[in-house]
Amino acid sequence: MARSVTTQRKIINTAVAWTVGLLIFFPILWTILTSFKTEATAIADPPVFLAFDWTLENYATVLERSDYMRFLWNSVIIAGGSTLLGIIIAVPAAWSMAFVPGPRTKDILLWMLSTKMLPAVGVLYPIYLIFIKLGLLDTRTGLVLVLMLMNLPIIVWMLYTYFREIPVEILEAARMDGAGLKEEILYVLTPMAIPGIASTLLLNFILAWNEAFWTLNLTAAKAAPLTAFIASYSSPEGLFYAKLSAASTMAIAPILILGWFSQKQLVSGLTFGAVK
Amino acid sequence: MATQHSRSAARLMMAPAVILLLGWMLVPLIMTLLFSFKKYLPLRGGDLGWVGFENYVRFVTSSAFWPSVLATLAIVGGVLIITVVFGVLLAILLNQPMWGRGIVRILVIAPFFVMPTVSALVWKNMFMDPVNGLFAHLWTAFGAAPVEWLSQASLQSIVMIVSWQWLPFATLILLTAIQSLDSEQLEAAEMDGAPPIKRFAYITLPHLGRAITVVVLIQTIFLLGIFAEIFVTTQGSFGTRTLTYLIYQRVLESQNVGLGSAGGVYAIILANIIAIFLMRMVGKNLDA
Amino acid sequence: MTRIKSFHAATAMALVVASGAFADTTVTIATVNNGDMIRMQRLAPEFEAQNPDIRLEWVTLEENVLRQRVTQDIAANGGQFDVMTIGTYEVPIWGQQGWLVSLDDMPEVWDADDLLPAIRDGLTIDGALYAAPFYGESSMVMYRTDLMEKAGLEIPDAPSWDFIKQAAAAMTDTDNGTYGICLRGKAGWGENMAFLTAMANSFGARWFDEDWQPELNGPEWTAAVNFYMDLMTQHGPPGASTNGFNENLSLFQQGKCGMWIDATVAASFVTDPDDSTVADTVGFALAPDTGLGRRGNWLWAWSLAVPAGSDATQEAKTFIQWATSKDYTALVAAKEGWANVPPGTRSSLYENPEYQAAAPWADMTLNSINAADPTDPSVKPVPYTGVQFVAIPEFAGIATQVGQEISAALAGQQSVKEALDKAQALTLDEMEAAGY
């Protein structure tokens, strides 16, 4: 009796959850489907769901028109570089905040977060002028720096909450055994923190990949990432839904696949100290 | 017991991050402050001298100012409410026993990976377009007149697009929190005959307080600066001009850097008011 | 030791410099993602083959993003681009600031005298040419000949606004998804305000009087905007307040519009059977008037210019010469047909019988372009130049905000009077901020 109730509940749960999940996912699915249609099918009324002549024409057009690989590579370098650099700078800071907290630690942490509230549009002009002076316009180095600074507060915060969950006793034990600061970080802390670091890495890679204000405004040709690639496919003349869908799919596919494969790691660390 | 030695080591380790962020904050901030007291029109020769508080007065007295503050608050508030409410519901749902939970989680998480520009373009063209959009087809199929989403329900449409992007984030954090909930406590309450609503209100919700705070804090930080979604969809028309977008119009469309910088200073002040408010809330919750 | 080191450094430097002299020069081109520009990008390998020492880098962006990028870059002197695609609005303002390189030294063979005078004048400041027109356009009425016939009407070559209204009413068939008229409603100085400013000219309206006082809530503007609003709310498509050029183009191509008043370049798109379902049944007429002596058509040329901050001025000019030459026109004609050549810039094109045969709209385009006078756009005298814009730096910002007010009125969120009163107030405010 009790079993059938739970089975029944499980069926209902499954049905509801799948419906909701598919609804949330639908815009992405629709984009991917549309990318395989012709422009005329893309706007057909009633809409065609699966029964259309699948074509790769849109992908061919997009690949012919833009150097996709270069945009992709720039995205990888910029997102990857800024995330790695950010982690290198943030690990020691987060470590000291978590294990040697001073009276002002919390204030410093919150202040760091508040720097993220500076409106980017408001400081575009100053940053542009500084970039000209330093010759950083349209360079990957410049974007790596800016995105690293943008995400540094988030990285520090995530690592801090993760480090705090590591029991101090383990560190003390290591110290008793004569481990220095370096050994402590390298051999005790880092292995324990790897899941946290991995999830921090992933989240910030995603944030940097999707950043569309600085990456668009500080680049021209050489360092332009996928956000600029998309800007050349929005509202051109004539019908464009299918080509836009193809370009969109190409821009989000790498991060979508990465996200799906590593979602366990991402989720396990995505607590921001929300769980205690 | 932290020794003097480890204290100074700690300070040293914190230094790079602190100094970098201080520079990242102060240098543009000081330049913005300088510009904001100047008549600075790049298309009319650049720096045209000091004007005192003129830009500040002009920015607030413009008829666009208060509506833009309200639009900002409406978008941030709307998205927060939607993502938190639906996030809690989704998290509870995903925590139930079911088949294929892993796949459902993958489906739910997906919007978070989509670039804001792409999601705005897709929603605007393929869903909300009043002639060729999917919603229009759907509405006409049921004999209703298509809704002109981005003009007649502009603010709601933008809130919807942004909520779609941030719902996965909220859901995941809340899900982690729910999973850490002591199930024995819930079972005990169930044994005692407490109805599901009571169990939710007295056990689950209090437990989620901390997670909700974190969601609100992190999302607010990102939502205050949303730009791409508005730039792509309405370009600030139909009451969707946020403070960020107003500043963009002043600096880039009107090329009035002085006026825009004054707006930037106001935006920083607004952000800090919200920040202090949030920090109080979070600070308390984080210590607990 | 140090001396040897520095000697090595010097040799290395010399080598770098020497090889640099033979290396490619990169020309970075910022352009719009319009069809003609994408075609130019596709044909560019021909240019690179002819000029092996020049390498082209393309930055193709959507119009709004492009404008933001190039304006930001030129105003801050960022020097990121060697060729910029800009319009008749930017050229006089930027040229006056000394931000563009003069193109007066283009070679004889490029034939500057062949450029259409109306277009050329718009790109000339104090006798010097600052940009080369890539394609030029005016605006005109495009209509469905079959629907016009069904409505029992015959459109004159130079119709009046009243006729347009009558025809729009007769052609509207909401049940079948056909709307009498499609016009721009999307806010933006280059979107609805380009159309409305040109339309207002034909109603005798002007942006500013001779003392730079805005007249947006005056009787002429009110009449023009009310007329526009009546047309659109009664005979326009749903969601018109978010329709720009591209949206209307696709509506027209799908057969949903009876008439469309917009850029002359659209003629080749709506008659292209590959993209248009109504390719065979499109007719053309001059933009309408109200009998005051001005028609509601504009004048625009997407042009290529070299910013003063470029470090490859000579190479950039070589490219511009190629892209705006008669040879380029011939190249496009050979590869993609005469109907697809960039129109509206050269007299020789309109004398070419092959083009006339392939482009039945050629005469109407030329007449429209010649009918626009940027120096005397309205019925009353004005202190500014520009037909559908006012060539002052503040205009883009002002007109976009005015456009948003009118767009909101079109969406039914406020009345025409409210919109125009707000427009007047914000224009006064912005002009004051700019020091008028």
C208 and C242 within one domain:
yes
pLDDT classification of B268: cutoffs 50, 70, 90: confident
Q: C72: which chain A residues are within 8 Å (Cβ-Cβ)?
A: 124, 128, 217
| A12 interfacial to chain C (CB closer than 8 Å) | no
- Are B117 and A227 a contacting pair at CB < 8 A? yes
Taking an 8 Å cut-off on Cβ atoms, the answer to whether A132 and C76 are in contact is: yes
Among C63, C77, C269, the residue with its CB nearest the CB of A238 is C269
Residue A236 and residue C32: Cα distance in Å, rounded? Answer: 9
For chain C, the residue count is 436
Asked if C69's CB is within 8 angstroms of A217's CB, the reply is yes
CB neighbourhood size of B27 (10 A)? 14
CB-CB neighbours of B96 under 10 Å: 14
Same domain, C392 and C409: yes
Are B167 and B86 spatial neighbours (Cβ–Cβ below 8 Å)?
A: yes
Contacts of C254 in chain A (CB under 8 A): 43
Domains and CATH numbers, chain A: 64-270 (1.10.3720.10)
Would you state the structure tokens that stand for residue A115, as one six-digit string? 């720097």
| Cα(C99)–Cα(A187) distance, integer angstroms | 59
Mutate to test the interface with A, among C33, C39, C249, C269 (most CBs of A within 10 A): C33
Residue of A nearest to C309 (CA): A132
* Chain A residues within an 8 Å CB radius of C80: 137-138, 220
Per DSSP, what are the bridge partners of residue C304? C85, C132
Same domain, residue pair C284 and C408:
yes
C242 and C387 in a single domain? The answer is yes
Per the omega criterion (within 30 degrees of 0), is the bond before A46 cis? yes
Measured between alpha carbons, how far is A69 from B213 in angstroms, rounded to an integer? 41
Q: How far is CA B74 from the centre of its chain?
A: 11
Q: Residue C214's beta-bridge partner residues?
A: C208
Say what the pLDDT of residue A170 is: 78
Flag if B254 and C394 touch (Cβ within 8 Å): yes
State the average pLDDT for chain B: 87
Q: Which residue of C has its CA nearest to A133?
A: C78
pLDDT reading at A1 higher than 50:
no
pLDDT in tens, B160-178: 999 999 999 999 899 988 8
Report the length, in residues, of chain A.
276
ipTM of the complex in this document: 0.89
The average pLDDT across A141-152 equals 93
In a domain, C86, yes or no: yes
Whole-number pLDDT of residue C43: 95
The answer to whether residue C368 sits within a structural domain is: no
Residue C364 lies in a domain: no
Chain B residues touching residue A131 (CB < 8 angstroms): none
CB contact under 8 A, A231 and C80: no
B117: exposed, middle or buried (Cβ count in 10 Å: 0-12, 13-18, 19+): buried
Model confidence at C5, pLDDT cuts 50, 70, 90, reads very low
Query: What is the distance between the alpha carbons of residues C73 and A137, in angstroms, rounded to a whole number?
Result: 10
CATH of the domain at C378: 3.40.190.10
Q: Which of C38, C61, C246 sits opposite A65 (nearest CB)?
A: C38
Q: Do A220 and C38 touch (CB under 8 A)?
A: no
**Same domain flag for C179 and C310:** no
- Whether A94 contacts B4, CB under 8 Å: no
**Phi/psi at B48 (5° precision):** -110, 25
Q: How far apart are CA C204 and CA C289, in angstroms?
A: 10
- Taking Cα atoms as reference points, which of B278, B223, B209 lies closest to residue B80? B223
Residue A163's contacts (CB-CB under 8 Å, 6 or more residues apart) are: A94, A95, A97, A98, A99, A189, A193, A196
How many Cβ atoms from other residues are within 10 Å of residue C342's Cβ? 26
Considering the domain boundaries, does residue C11 fall inside one?
A: yes
Nearest CA of chain A to the CA of B147: how many Å? 16
- Asked if B274 and B220 touch (Cβ cutoff 8 Å), the reply is yes
Q: If you average pLDDT over every residue of chain C, what do you get? A: 90
Separation between Cα atoms, residue C192 and residue C298, nearest integer Å: 12
Q: Hey, is C188 helix, strand or coil?
A: coil
Residue with tokens 């991402």: A266
Q: Is A8 exposed, middle or buried (0-12, 13-18, 19+ CB in 10 A)?
A: exposed
Residue B287 pLDDT class (50, 70, 90 cuts): low
Q: What angle, rounded to 10 degrees, do the helices at B101-109 and B65-94 form?
A: 170
Q: How far is A248 from chain C (nearest CA, A)?
A: 15
Q: How far is the CA of A177 from the CAs of A92, A185, A186, in angstroms?
A: 22, 14, 15
CA–CA distance, A127 with A135 (Å, rounded to integer): 12
Dig out the tokens for B212 from the structure. 């909700």
Provide the 3-class DSSP secondary structure of residue B38: strand
* Percent share of chain A, pLDDT over 70: 95
Position C20 pLDDT exceeds 50 = no
Same domain, C286 and C314: no
C148 touches B at CB < 8 Å: no
- Per-residue pLDDT, B104: 92
Q: Provide the shortest C-alpha distance from residue B219 to chain A (in Å).
A: 11
pLDDT in tens, A40-55: 888 887 888 888 889 9
Angstrom distance (rounded) from CA C356 to CA C27: 35
Residue C402 CA to residue C425 CA, distance in Å, equals 10
Residue whose pair of structure tokens reads 């009498």 in the numeric block: C180
Token look-up 């100047």 returns B38
Task: Please check the confidence at residue A178 and state whether its pLDDT lies above 80.
Answer: no
Determine the Cα–Cα distance for residues B132 and B146; give it in Å rounded to an integer.
10
Task: Identify the residue with better confidence: A160 or A77.
Answer: A77
Q: What is the pLDDT of residues C150-188, one digit of tens each?
A: 999 999 999 999 999 999 999 999 888 899 999 999 999
Q: What is the pLDDT of residue B5?
A: 63
pLDDT, greater one: C114 or A119 = C114
Comparing CA positions, the residue from C225, C158, C163 lying closest to residue C197 is: C225
Encoding tokens for residue A184?
């402590």
From A65's Cα to the closest Cα of chain C, the distance in A is 7
Question: Residue C78: which of A128, A224, A228 has the nearest Cβ?
Answer: A128
Instruction: Return the HEC string of C209-236.
Output: CCCCCECCCCHHHHHHHHHHHHHHHHHC
Residues of C in contact with B43 (CB under 8 A): 75, 93, 97, 393
Return the CATH number of the domain spanning residue range B31-287. Answer: 1.10.3720.10
Q: Which residue of A has its CA nearest to C60?
A: A232
Interface contact A245-B122, CB threshold 8 A? yes
Chain C's closest residue to B58, CA to CA, is: C433
Residue at which a domain ends, from C358, C392, C407:
C358
Q: Which residues pair with A205 in a beta bridge?
A: none
Whole-number pLDDT of residue C4: 46
- Does residue C58 belong to the interface with chain A, where contact is any CB pair within 8 Å? yes
Q: Which chains contact B through at least 3 pairs of Cβ atoms less than 8 Å apart?
A: A, C
Residue A8 at interface with chain B, using a CB cutoff of 8 Å: no
Contact residues, chain C, for B63 at CB < 8 Å: 422, 425-426
Domain range spanning residue C306? 2-137+300-358
What's residue C314's pLDDT?
Answer: 94
Q: What is the mean pLDDT of residues A146-166?
A: 88
pTM of the model: 0.89
Q: Residue C377 in 3-state DSSP?
A: coil
Of A122, C413, A124, residue with least CA distance to B59:
A122
Instruction: Tell me, yes or no, whether C210 and C305 share the same domain.
Output: no
CA distances from C365 to A79, C99, C291, C294, C372 (A): 48, 31, 21, 17, 11
In a domain, C253, yes or no: yes
**Residue C175 CB contacts under 8 Å (≥ 6 apart), including other chains:** none
Instruction: Give tens-digit pLDDT for A78-121.
Output: 999 999 999 999 988 888 888 888 778 878 887 888 888 778 88
- Which chain A positions have a beta carbon within 8 Å of B267's beta carbon? 119, 122
Mean pLDDT across chain A, nearest whole number? 86
Are B97 and A129 an interchain contact pair (Cβ–Cβ within 8 Å)? no
Q: Which long-range contacts (CB under 8 A, 24 or more apart) does C73-76 make?
A: C73/A220, C73/C307, C74/C99, C74/C307, C74/C309, C75/B42, C75/B43, C75/B255, C76/A125, C76/A128, C76/A129, C76/A132, C76/B42
Domain boundaries, chain B: 31-287
Q: How many residues does chain B have?
A: 288
Q: What is the DSSP letter of A14?
A: H
pLDDT value at residue C16:
43
- Residues C310, C179 contacting (CB under 8 angstroms): no
pLDDT in tens, A207-221: 999 998 899 889 988
Asked whether residue C365 is assigned to any structural domain, the reply reads no
Provide the pLDDT confidence category of residue C234 given band limits of 50, 70 and 90: very high
The reply to whether residue B116 touches residue A245, judged by beta carbons under 8 angstroms, is no
Asked if C245 reaches chain A (Cβ–Cβ under 8 Å), the answer is: yes
Residues linked to residue A85 through DSSP beta bridges, in sequence order: none
Put simply, the answer to whether B264 touches A99 (Cβ < 8 Å) is no
Residue C178 falls inside a structural domain: yes
Give the one of C72, C412, C426 whose C-beta lies nearest to B63's C-beta.
C426
Q: How confident is the model at residue A172 (pLDDT cuts 50, 70, 90)?
A: confident
Dump the DSSP string for C239-262.
Answer: TGGG--HHHHHHHHHTT-EEEEEE
Contact criterion met (CB below 8 Å) for C300 and C32? no
Query: How far, in Å, CA of B160 to CA of B128, rounded?
Result: 11
Q: Is residue C170 part of a domain?
A: yes
Whether pLDDT at C229 is above 70: yes
**For position B283, what pLDDT does the model report?**
64
> Are the beta carbons of A129 and C35 separated by less than 8 Å?
no
How many distinct structural domains can be found in chain C? 2
* Nearest-CB residue to C422 (from B63, B129, B235): B63
Confidence band for C9, pLDDT divided at 50, 70 and 90:
very low
Cβ <8 Å between B210 and A276:
yes
Instruction: Determine how many CB atoms are found less than 10 A away from the CB of residue B158.
Output: 29
